Amino acid sequence: MQNILPRLYKEYGQYSNYRNFPLDLDGLKPVERRVLFSAFKIAKEKFAKSRQVDSYATGHFHPHGECYGSMVQLVRQGFLDGQGNFGSTIGQQTENPAATRYTEGKLNLHTVELAFKHIKYVPWVDTEFGDKEPFFLPTMYPVCLLGNDYTMGIGFGYKTFIPCYDIKDLHKRLLWLLGERKTKPTIAPITDCTITSPPAELEKLLTIGKAKIHVAGVVNENRVTNTVTLKSWPPGKKFETLLSKFSKEMDMGTIGYNDESTAATGTEIVFKVLRERNRDKIYKDFVSLLKESIKGTISFETTVVDTEQNVMVKPIDAMLLDTYKMFIRINEVMLNEEIKHTDQLINEYNTLEKIRDPLSNCISNKFSIDQTIHGISEITGVEEEMIKGLISKYLIQKLLTLNTDTTALHNKKEEFQNNLENISKFVLEQYNRI
């Protein structure tokens, strides 16, 4: 028993890490992938109650508890469209979302194009309920690098804090990595703060996967009215902690503040000098103290898991390239399947052309189809089972009138083959479109 426990503990740790960290191929934690896939199944064309999406995910794929928290985050990140109150992180206090029965979600077109266009060509695995789910989504970029909020996670001995970027910047970086762009773009994470670190630190994040990025919150000064508006502060710092640094000014009644944040304007916490005497000096000293208080450091560490559930710190560049290679492979599978399907249609059309005249004669002479299939097979050389299959697949009228010219199919097959031979160009065209 003592020998078994360490192994079980290790296995549980690996399983826990797999649930809490994004997969390197698509940049999604299992619960996020399951919520998106559930929305794809039941909320692609129209909005569905959040309770329905949550229940579908937990009932088919995710037996570890409700998924509404992940759904809320996906709405806030822009991967799902939402209706109703999904809460807010604007201003000094966060607002919780409404209950699942009061909100609705829908998979938006951008996410369909980004991650579901080739969904049927990915590997599928069994769920704990006996259903099937995609092993990963065929996304063009790691999803954790998109959106407007950083991905966090804590596992057994590891933690992750992954930055997100503008998709246009990721596209530029990928083109440079592929040799399609000469000038190296050093891209910066999305943030509502001002990045004060030099480009070399940003490069570490891209090439190593770990970096400490120095930032400063944003303030707007108005010396005429002796007010200063706080627009942002570094991630990880709470407003209450910042406010405690001004407790002396607050207690003395020299400074007051009002939270004027709205969805339209974003965070706007307005501080104002309340005392007339020495207003300019009080204002100057307070602004200096405020600016110093909203400086900070973001410690990024891009910890992910691979398909074997191994945990690793993976550079942004490597994530971009591996997801691109995965998308290449999925497109190869798709094109080969399309060629196979087109060949099947060409074969069916050619066979229909062979059997249509004798079949028409049989029908016009009021003979039973069942009685004449054998004769048609002898005349045409087509196996009886194939004739039966075609007759059951197509309505008789359609079978006799269908245009069996295969020119368009041959042209389509040639197009598929050409795309397969020039797969990099074909895939990059998809990247350029999105």
* Euclidean distance between CA atoms 320 and 174, whole angstroms: 7
Minimal CA–CA distance to 124: which of 138, 115, 135, 116? 135
Q: Which residues contact 219 (CB under 8 A, 6 or more apart)?
A: 228, 229, 230, 231, 287, 290, 291, 294
* Euclidean distance between CA atoms 117 and 59, whole angstroms: 25
Minimal CA–CA distance to 147: which of 89, 205, 78? 78
* Euclidean distance between CA atoms 86 and 109, whole angstroms: 20
102 part of the active site: yes
Q: Which helix (H) or strand (E) holds 305?
A: strand 303-305
What values do phi and psi take at 222, rounded to 5? -135, 95
Q: Quick count: other Cβ atoms within 10 Å of Cβ 78?
A: 15
Whole-structure pTM value: 0.86
Q: Would you kindly state where each structural domain of the chain is located, as residue ranges?
A: 4-168+301-327, 218-293, 338-433
* CATH code matching the domain that covers 4-168+301-327, chosen among 3.90.1560.10, 3.90.199.10, 3.30.70.340, 3.30.565.10: 3.90.199.10
For the chain (434 residues), the mean pLDDT of every run of 10, in chain order, is: 56 68 94 96 95 93 84 95 91 87 95 95 88 94 94 86 96 96 95 94 95 95 92 89 86 89 90 88 92 94 92 96 97 97 92 79 59 78 83 66 84 96 95 89
The dihedral sign for the CA sequence 230, 236, 238, 243:
negative
Burial of 290 by CB count in 10 Å (0-12 exposed, 13-18 middle, 19+ buried)?
buried
Q: Which residues contact 408 (CB under 8 A, 6 or more apart)?
A: none
CATH of domain 218-293: 3.30.1360.40
Q: Which residues contact 227 (CB under 8 A, 6 or more apart)?
A: 270, 271, 272, 273
List 9, 56, 102, 257, catalytic entry: 102
Minimal CA–CA distance to 309: which of 151, 156, 146, 87? 156
Q: Which helix (H) or strand (E) holds 335?
A: helix 316-364
Minimal CA–CA distance to 71: which of 118, 34, 122? 34
Q: Which helix (H) or strand (E) holds 273?
A: strand 269-273
* Euclidean distance between CA atoms 431 and 412, whole angstroms: 22
What would the two tokens of residue 404 be?
């069996």
